[in-house]
Amino acid sequence: MTCAAAVQPTSFIRIPFDHWVLAAGDRFEDAAQCALPGDGVVPMRLHRAMRYAVLDGGKRVRPLLVYAAGEITHAEGEPLDRAALAVEFVHAYSLVHDDMPCMDNDVLRRGKPTVHIEFDEATAMLAGDALQAEAFKVIADGGLPASQTAALMRELAHASSTAGMCGGQAIDLDAVGTTPGIDQLERMHRMKTGALLKAAVLMGALSGHPAALTEATREALARYGEAVGLAFQVVDDLLDVEASTAELGKTAGKDAEHSKPTYVSLLGVQATRAWSLRLRAQALEAIDGLGPSAARLRELADFIVCRKS
Amino acid sequence: MTCAAAVQPTSFIRIPFDHWVLAAGDRFEDAAQCALPGDGVVPMRLHRAMRYAVLDGGKRVRPLLVYAAGEITHAEGEPLDRAALAVEFVHAYSLVHDDMPCMDNDVLRRGKPTVHIEFDEATAMLAGDALQAEAFKVIADGGLPASQTAALMRELAHASSTAGMCGGQAIDLDAVGTTPGIDQLERMHRMKTGALLKAAVLMGALSGHPAALTEATREALARYGEAVGLAFQVVDDLLDVEASTAELGKTAGKDAEHSKPTYVSLLGVQATRAWSLRLRAQALEAIDGLGPSAARLRELADFIVCRKS
């Protein structure tokens, strides 16, 4: 972690949003390059698979949320990098395992063969397992005061648990072939995708000055995180029917193919689009009182709802 | 975690070792019953699989090491329970994933069908993933000072990472069908099994009074943990050829069947047995200066080397 980029996406200097997205993405990529074990280090195949799963791909929505939320508490670069790495490692591990034959059995992710196709199933399973451990390690090895380190790890552990991401995955699995109500679908998505996106927001804020994170601010950020977390999934469902495989970099139309219940299958395209916009409004309302330091978070709410892939 | 057993295996009261093993095992079982999400809580199937993977089985060597090491720093019951749960959850997740068809493809574990046989592969994968998250959660939610919480999580994350358990698994995978030297085999086992056993010892000690854990004591415990960690695996290799499937509660003779290199295949039975005794001596020598509070650790070194299953 000595090769952190010179770019400081956490700075208040007002560069345009799309430039900031690129700069933050580059910064994250550099941090991930440094933080992941080298592919020349034994066990090389495992390290290659982990790097393959994380590097050079994805929209990096979670890291962007970390960097943006860090502005609220004037967080510094390296602690933010570590929080961003931690959430993205958990996200990446969940994709690797989710793509495996016993789950979604998908062969394409981010425009590349999935990890179990490029390597093998055993390596994919281990790479996922190791990325989860690496997520906690990258926080544990950061130089923040213990109270912040412990709070960050707690946030990550809860978001990854059966009350969060893993629980949502299991509910999703149980729901295949059934027709859940909209409430059940929402609960599943709040856990499966929403919990980690919300954790990204809170972990960004937890990486800065504790005094700047009042209880009210924390609650505002939690509400923002919940709204954008759910909006992200609602838009994902829309894109699965509207975008092409080339645009998505993963197999399009697979929800319908697998008879997976989605917002679109339950509500139709128009109502789903309308709902994504209401969630965006909820997210903006939640952080209305946070002033100019929440500018990036506001832009990110738009980015998440209006994205095309 | 409100239903902790009245039994205090951490007490200095000298009950015979075999009684202590039973009492500590019962205490751990009660703690696990309370700490794991209930199987009536959604997602029920996932929670049932997690409980199936952890409860009512295994020798609980890692929890025993935690409780025994806690005597060194006069640790209290609940923090020790949490440290014991964390290492055992990580151990249990690794077994669940290791038994799956893409890894060892085993159908029997602790005398019961493996998780993917009793449930299904997707549930087994998710249960393993969730148990790893739960391991960090049970530490994060403990009431210890943040400096201890952070230190415990750091120890656990390193032991579980590619520098520890996951890395050892990957080296093991790469070694199937090859003939590694004894040094390579040792390195693999120090990572695959040894790292978590050593972490159990250190985490037990880290759960008590920080002032009681001097750097010298910590180093002594690390050396003890390394020696018993390796001894455990050396004895495992011996048992795989000497014990029956019924005694082991898992498929016996599978190392030879899978052409897995072991200490026995490289050194023969007699030299392997002799080496396990040398490692026991190393373990005892490491904690020689720790006085009566290390009595249980000494007994555990014998227990690990002389076990029959």
Q: What is the pLDDT of residue B180?
A: 87
**A95-104, A201-210, A246-255, B234-243: least confidently modelled range:** A246-255
Size of interface A-B (CB pairs under 8 A): 162
Alpha helices in chain B (DSSP H): 17-35, 44-54, 61-70, 77-98, 115-118, 121-140, 146-160, 165-175, 182-189, 195-206, 215-242, 245-248, 254-257, 263-267, 269-286, 295-306
CA dist B106 and A301 (Å) reads 47
Closest CA–CA distance from residue A284 to any residue of chain B (Å): 31
Q: What is the pLDDT of residue B262?
A: 87
Average pLDDT score over residue span A50-60? 93
Q: What is the pLDDT of residue A308?
A: 84
**A269-278, B21-30, B177-186: least confidently modelled range:** B177-186
**A17-26, A74-83, A257-266, A285-294: least confidently modelled range:** A257-266
Average pLDDT score over residue span A86-112? 96
Cβ of B146 within 8 Å of Cβ of A141? The answer is: no
Quick: pLDDT tens for B59-68: 999 999 999 9
Cβ of A162 within 8 Å of Cβ of B43? The answer is: yes
Non-local (6+) Cβ contacts of B122 within 8 A are: A102, A103, A173
Task: Find the residue in B nearest to A116 (Cα).
Answer: B102
Task: Find the residue in B nearest to A45 (Cα).
Answer: B170
3 state DSSP class of B296: helix
Residue of higher predicted confidence among A216 and B258 = A216
Average pLDDT score over residue span A150-163? 98
22-51 in chain B: CB under 8 A from chain A: 37, 42-43, 45-47, 50
Closest CA–CA distance from residue B276 to any residue of chain A (Å): 26
Q: What is the pLDDT of residue B167?
A: 97
CA dist B88 and B55 (Å) reads 10
Q: Is the pLDDT of residue B7 over 50?
A: no
CA dist A80 and A87 (Å) reads 11
Q: Which of A123, A133, A145 sits opposite B160 (nearest CB)?
A: A133
Residue A257: name the closest of A168, A171, A173, A177 by CA: A177
245-274 in chain A: CB under 8 A from chain B: none
Task: Find the residue in A nearest to B126 (Cα).
Answer: A166
**Cβ atoms of residues B92 and B131 within 8 Å:** yes
Residue of higher predicted confidence among B309 and A181 = A181
**A56-70, A167-181, B151-165, B238-252: least confidently modelled range:** B238-252
Closest CA–CA distance from residue B251 to any residue of chain A (Å): 20
Confidence bin at B6 (pLDDT 50/70/90): very low
Q: Is A5 on the interface with B (CB under 8 A)?
A: no
Q: Is the pLDDT of residue A309 over 90?
A: no
Confidence bin at A7 (pLDDT 50/70/90): very low
Q: What is the pLDDT of residue A257?
A: 67
Cβ of A126 within 8 Å of Cβ of B45? The answer is: no
Average pLDDT score over residue span A81-98? 98
- Determine if residue B58 is left, alpha or beta; phi over 0 gives left, psi from -120 to 50 gives alpha, anything else beta: left
Segments of chain A assigned E as strands: 108-109, 112-113
Confidence bin at A24 (pLDDT 50/70/90): very high
Closest CA–CA distance from residue B145 to any residue of chain A (Å): 8
- Determine if residue B130 is left, alpha or beta; phi over 0 gives left, psi from -120 to 50 gives alpha, anything else beta: alpha
Contacting residues of B for A125, CB less than 8 Å apart: 97, 100, 102-103, 125
Chain A interface disruption, residue of B120, B136, B148, most A CBs within 10 A: B136
Dihedral angle computed from the Cα positions of residues B200, B251, A132 and A143, in that order, rounded to the nearest 10 degrees: 20
Closest CA–CA distance from residue A98 to any residue of chain B (Å): 9
Quick: pLDDT tens for A110-120: 889 999 999 99
Start-to-end Cα distance in chain A: 30
3 state DSSP class of B210: helix
Q: What is the pLDDT of residue B185?
A: 92
ω into B210 cis (within 30 of 0): no
ipTM of the complex: 0.94
- The count of residues in chain B is 309
Q: Is the pLDDT of residue B135 over 70?
A: yes
Average pLDDT score over residue span A252-269? 79
Q: What is the pLDDT of residue A5?
A: 44
Q: Is the pLDDT of residue A276 over 50?
A: yes
DSSP state of B36: S
Beta partners for B241? none
114-153 in chain A: CB under 8 A from chain B: 120-123, 125-126, 128-130, 132-134, 136-137, 140-141, 145-147, 149-151, 153
CATH of domain A17-306: 1.10.600.10
Percent residues over pLDDT 70 in chain A: 91
**What integer best gives the mean pLDDT of chain A?**
92
Q: What is the pLDDT of residue A9?
A: 46
Quick: pLDDT tens for B241-279: 887 656 656 666 666 666 678 899 899 999 999 999 999
Average pLDDT score over residue span A273-298? 97
Q: What is the pLDDT of residue A110?
A: 86
Chain A interface disruption, residue of B132, B134, B171, most A CBs within 10 A: B132
Cβ of A140 within 8 Å of Cβ of B132? The answer is: no
Q: What is the pLDDT of residue B251?
A: 65
Phi, psi of A117 (to 5 degrees): -80, -45
| Residue type, position B18, single letter | D
Closest CA–CA distance from residue A16 to any residue of chain B (Å): 38
Cβ of A173 within 8 Å of Cβ of B126? The answer is: yes
Contacting residues of A for B128, CB less than 8 Å apart: 129
Confidence bin at B9 (pLDDT 50/70/90): very low
Cβ of A102 within 8 Å of Cβ of B94? The answer is: no
Cβ of A170 within 8 Å of Cβ of B126? The answer is: yes
- The count of residues in chain A is 309
Q: Is the pLDDT of residue B298 over 80?
A: yes
Contacting residues of B for A132, CB less than 8 Å apart: 129, 132-133
**What integer best gives the mean pLDDT of chain B?**
92
Closest CA–CA distance from residue A266 to any residue of chain B (Å): 22
